[in-house]
Amino acid sequence: MKKALLIFLIIFVVMQFIRPEQKNTKIVKELEIVAKPEVMNLFKTSCYDCHSNKTNWPWYSQVAPFSWVITSHINEGRNALNFTQWNNYDKKKQEEKLRSIYKKVYAAMPLKSYIAFHEEADLTKEQREMIRNWTGVRR
C-alpha cells in the first residue's frame, strides 16, 4: 500500500511539470464586442472566462490534470467564439456567431461543469432571454 501511494505521489509530482500554456493575449479594445451594459455584464460574468482573452485562471487551473482539461476547454471555447476578437470576424461570421449565441444560451451555455465552480455565472431565464433578444435573431 505504501509503495502504491509513493508511486502515485511521484506520478502526480511529475505531472505538474507538464504544463499547458495558459495565456491572455493583449486586448485591442476596437476588436471587442460591443453590447448594451446589461448584456456586457452577463457576457463578462458568464461567458468571458472561456470565450475571450480575459480568462480569470483559478488556482486549480494550475494543478495537473485539471490544468490540462481546463486549458483545453478554454482553447475550444475561444476557437468557437472569442468576444475580444469579435471585430476580426467578417459580417457573415458575426451573424453565424449571433445565431450560435441565440441557440446555445437557451440551455447549453454556460456549461454545467463551469457553473458548478462559478455559481455566479448561472443565467436566469430572463437573462438568457435578454441575451437572445440582443442577438437580433428571429425564431
Enclosing domain of residue 70: 35-52+59-139
Residue 23 lies in a domain: no
Residue 9 lies in a domain: no
pLDDT beyond 90 at 115: yes
pLDDT of residue 92: 96
Residues 6+ apart with CB under 8 A from 116: none
Is 131 a domain residue? yes
Phi first, then psi, for residue 110 (nearest 5°) are -65, 155
pLDDT digits (tens, 9 = 90+) for 43-98: 999 999 999 999 989 898 888 998 899 999 999 999 999 999 999 999 999 999 99
Location of C-alpha cell 451555455: 109
Reported pTM: 0.84
Number of domains in the chain: 1
| Residue 36 binned pLDDT confidence (cut-offs 50, 70, 90) | very high
CA distance 52 to 43: 10
Tell me if 2 is assigned to some domain.
Answer: no
Closest CA to 42 of 114, 104, 130, 106: 130
Q: Report pLDDT for 87.
A: 95
